[in-house]
A and B are shown apart, each in its own frame.
Chain A
Amino acid sequence: MTIVLISDGGAEQHACRLLADRLEQQGQPCLTIGAPAPGWHSPWPAGRPQLEIPADALLGTTLLEEATAIGLFLQDTDQLDRLVHGYRELCRHRGRKPAPVFSGPLAPVVGDKLISELSSRHRCDLVLLHGERQRQEAAAMRFNWPASLKAPPLVCGGFWFMPERPHLGCLSGGLSTPPYSLLVLAQQSIPTQIGAKSQMLRQLIRWAEASPQWHVVIQRDHAWNDDEPWIPFYEPEDWTLPPNLGFGEPGQMLTLLSNCTACAGVSSPWLFTAMAWGRRAMVIGDFGIHSSQGTSGFFGSGAMHRLRSIHQLDQLLDLPKPSQSWLESMGWAVHDGPARLRRALKEITP
C-alpha cells in the first residue's frame, strides 16, 4: 500500500522526492506525482516526480484508489481544497473509504502566515508542520474551539523540505581559508518595495568590490524563465558587475549552499538550510518585521542584520551564530519527521 505525494511547484516536487526517499528507507512505498514542469530554470537539483500529471487531472484516474494516504503539497491552496472535496465525493459515490489526506506549508512559518496556511488546510485529515513553535501557535489559534469545528491533528516533521546534511565532503563549507563565498538568496517578490532589489544589488556590488577575496553568488530561490529578470526591467548593460559577483546557475542552489562560507537573504526558506548546515547566515533586516516581507518568521533568529552594518565581507565571518534554541523550535530539533508522519497517519487511519 502506497503513500501518494502530489505536488505542483519545483520546491514542492523537490521536497516530496526527499520525503518519499525517507519514507521508502523505512519500508513505506511512495508514489510521487507532480505537475509537468513548464521548462523554466529551477534552482533545485534535476529530478522528476515518478508521474507527471496535473493535480486537477488526478480525479479522472485510478491512481488514488490504492493510496493508503495522500500528501498534497500544492502552491494553489484553492486547488487543494477542490481536490480534497472532489476526491472525497468521488469515494463516496463509488462506495469507497477515502484515504487520509495530509498537507502542510513547505517551509516553517509563524504568525499570520501560519494561521493562513492552517486555515487553508482545515479540510485535511492531518497537517504536517515543522517544529514546536508552530505546534504552539496552532494550539493557540484553536484554543477552546468547539467539537463541531473539527480541526485536523498536527504532526511536527522538522525540516522535511530540505536535505538533512550538505553534499558529501562539504560539512564544513568554505569556512577556514579564502577565497570565501557569499551566497545571496534572491526571492521572486520580496522585498516588495519598488527599487529595493536594485538597492540590494548596488550593496552587493559595493561589498564585492570591497572584498576581492570573496565570491558573491546571487542565486534565485524560485523557478524562473529567461524573460523574467530577477530585478524588473533589469538591463545587464546598465550594470557593471565586478568579476567576483555573478548569478547562480540553474539546479545548483543546494551545491552553493553546501559550499558557501556565508549566506544572506531577506526571508528565503533556504536560510533555514544555511543555518542548519552551520553556515554563517545573515537575514537582511532592512525591510523590517513584516508579514508581507516574510521576515516575521526570522524574528528571534539572532541572525538579522542591516546591510549597512557590513562594510566588507570579512565581517560576515564574525557574525554571531543563529540562536540554536530558535532554530530548534522552528523544526531543527525534529530529526525523525517521516517516522512521526507515519505514526500520525496510522493513528488517524481506522
Chain B
Amino acid sequence: MSRPFRLLLIGDSDSQLLACESLCRFPAELAVEVTINAIPRNGTPAPILKRAQALGRLWRHEMGQLLTHPELMQFDAIGVFLTGSKISDFRLALGLLPASERPLLFCGFNGVVLEKFMEGMSWRLGYDLICLSGERDREALERMVASTPFLRQQTVLTGLGRSTPATSPLPNDDRPRRLVFAEQVVMPAAARDRAEMVRILAELARRSPDWEVLIKPRIAPDEATFHASDSHISSTLMQTLGHPPANLQLDYRPLPELLRHARLMATVSSTAFFDALDHGCRPVVMADFGIAPSSGSHVFAGSGVWRTLAEVEDLDALDQELPLPDPTWLAWMGYGTDAGPAALIRALQALKQDPPAVINESPGHMSNANLSFTQLRRSAEEAIVAKNWEEARSLLMLATLLRPKHRNAARRLWAVQWPNRLMRRLLVAITYRDVG
C-alpha cells in the first residue's frame, strides 16, 4: 500500500476554517491524512474547532511556530487559508525553496467570492495551485491575468459543495414546515437594511402561521468572525420587532442540522445556499434589496430562485411554487459538477510529479504578494543590519503606510530616522522585535 498523502490545512478565522473543513471530503482511495492548524484567535467558535479535530490532527500553533515546526517539510502539500497579506507571507516564507524540495503550497477562497476578487487574487498569485469554486471564478481570473506573466498560474476547481450527508435527505413532504434563514454578519450591512430584513421575515412568519421561521445567526453573540459587526442579529431582532411572532425564532443549532429538517432555506447571498442543496433543502434568495453589490445580490440574482419575500403570499405558496435552482447557474458557480476535493488531490499529485515553474514577475507587472507587510519589515531589518538607513527608512515608511496602526513598525521607523548615530543605535536595540 502506498503511503498516505499528507496534507496540512492552515486557517485563522472561522470562515477560513470552514473552507478547510469543506475540503476534507476526500475519497478513501486517495488516502489523505489531514492535519489542521487553527491559528489561535479569540472568539473562534468552539464547535468549529471540535469539528476540525474530528477530521484529523488539530494543531494550534501561531504562524511563527508553524513556520519552524520540525514536521512542516514532511507534508506533501500545505493549504493556506489565511486572511489578507498573511497568505502571501506564508508563501514568501516557504516559497524560497524550489517546489521539489518543499511541500506544495496551495490556497483558495472561502465559498462564493462576492467582492474584492482581484484584490484577493492578487495576494494569492504565485502559489503552486489556487483552488477556485467554478467557471465563474476561472473566467474572472482569465480576464484578470490575460497578457500578464501570471497567465501560467495553476488552478483547480474544487466546487461549492461543503458537506456529504451520511444519509439520504428526507423528501420534502416528510420535512416540517420550516424555513431557515441563514444570517450573514454584514450582508446587508446597513442597520436600516438589517432591520428591514428582520421585519420582512417577521411579516412572512405572520402570514404563514403553520410554518416555523428560524433565523440561524452566523455567530453567537460572544463569537467572532472575519467581518466585524456593530450589532448582533439578536439585538436587531429585538430592536426592530420588540415582540417577534411566536413562529419566528433565533436558532443556534449547527446549520446542517437545521437544514436536514427544513423545507426551505432563505439567504441574501450566503454560501449556505449550497449547503442547503447538500442537505436536500430548497434555497430561495431574498431579492428584497434589489441589485446591491454591497450585499452580493448581483451574484445570486441568476440562481433561478430570486424572490421578493415581501411579495410572497405565504410560505405554503412559496413551497408550492419554488423550483430547484437553475442547473446552468449552479454549474457556472461550481456546484453539481465534478469539481471537488478529489480534483485538488489529483492536481497536487500531478504537480508532485511535474513541479510548477516559479512565476517570475516581469517589469511592469506587480501583485500584492510583493507588498507583503511582513516582507517589508523583514527587508527593513536586513537593511538595518547592513546599516543601510535610507533603505530601512523607505521600507518602514511603506510598512507604516500599509498598516498605520502597527506600533512596532512605527517605532522602528522612528528609531532609524534619528540623525545621531549613538541615539539611533540605542533606539534600534530597544525597539527590536523578532519579525519571524
Contact B306–A300 (Cβ < 8 Å): no
A287-B401, A289-B368, A299-B122 are contacts. A143–B302 as well, Cβ < 8 Å? yes
Contact A300–B144 (Cβ < 8 Å): yes
Interface-located stretch among B7-15, B27-35, B112-120: B112-120
Contact A140–B136 (Cβ < 8 Å): yes
B302 touches which of A116, A133, A144, A306 (Cβ 8 Å): A144
Q: Does residue A29 face the partner (Cβ distance < 8 Å to B)?
A: no
Contact A291–B116 (Cβ < 8 Å): yes
List residues of chain A with CB within 8 A of the CB of B301.
142, 145-146, 149
Q: Does residue A111 face the partner (Cβ distance < 8 Å to B)?
A: yes
> In the complex, A332 Cα to B273 Cα: how many Å?
40
Mark each residue of chain A from 300 to 317: 1 if its CB lies under 8 Å from any CB of chain B, else 0: 111111101000000000
A289-B368, A304-B365 are contacts. A299–B118 as well, Cβ < 8 Å? yes
Main secondary structure of the interface of A (DSSP, over half): loop
Interface-located stretch among B42-50, B169-177, B183-191, B291-299: B291-299
A140-B139, A296-B119 are contacts. A303–B364 as well, Cβ < 8 Å? yes
Q: Does residue A163 face the partner (Cβ distance < 8 Å to B)?
A: no
Cβ distance A289 to chain B, nearest Cβ, rounded Å: 4
Which chain B residue shows the least CB distance to A293? B119
List residues of chain A with CB within 8 A of the CB of B368.
288-290
List residues of chain B with CB within 8 A of the CB of A68.
none
Contact B143–A119 (Cβ < 8 Å): no
Q: Does residue B326 face the partner (Cβ distance < 8 Å to A)?
A: yes
Cβ distance B355 to chain A, nearest Cβ, rounded Å: 26
Q: Does residue B332 face the partner (Cβ distance < 8 Å to A)?
A: yes
> In the complex, A116 Cα to B119 Cα: how many Å?
16
List residues of chain A with CB within 8 A of the CB of B147.
300, 302, 323, 325-326
Q: Does residue B140 face the partner (Cβ distance < 8 Å to A)?
A: yes
List residues of chain B with CB within 8 A of the CB of A116.
293
Contact B329–A140 (Cβ < 8 Å): no
Contact A140–B367 (Cβ < 8 Å): no
Cβ distance A331 to chain B, nearest Cβ, rounded Å: 14
A133 touches which of B143, B303, B366 (Cβ 8 Å): B143
List residues of chain A with CB within 8 A of the CB of B293.
112, 115-116, 119
Mark each residue of chain A from 309 to 345: 1 if its CB lies under 8 Å from any CB of chain B, else 0: 0000000000110110110010000000000000000
> In the complex, A288 Cα to B371 Cα: how many Å?
7
Contact B122–A112 (Cβ < 8 Å): no
List residues of chain B with CB within 8 A of the CB of A325.
146-147
A326 touches which of B146, B302, B326, B366 (Cβ 8 Å): B146
A286 touches which of B115, B326, B398 (Cβ 8 Å): B398
Contact B394–A289 (Cβ < 8 Å): no
Cβ distance A203 to chain B, nearest Cβ, rounded Å: 9
For this complex, 20 residue pairs linking A to B, each with C-beta atoms less than 8 Å apart, are: A111-B117, A115-B298, A119-B293, A143-B302, A144-B332, A146-B306, A195-B404, A196-B401, A288-B122, A288-B368, A289-B366, A299-B118, A300-B365, A304-B364, A305-B363, A305-B364, A319-B364, A320-B364, A323-B364, A325-B147
Q: Which are the 3 A-B pairs with shortest beta-carbon distances?
A: A144-B302, A289-B122, A302-B364
A interface residues (Cβ-Cβ under 8 A, vs B): 110-112, 115-116, 119, 122, 133, 136-137, 140-146, 149, 191, 193-196, 199, 285-291, 296, 299-306, 308, 319-320, 322-323, 325-326, 329
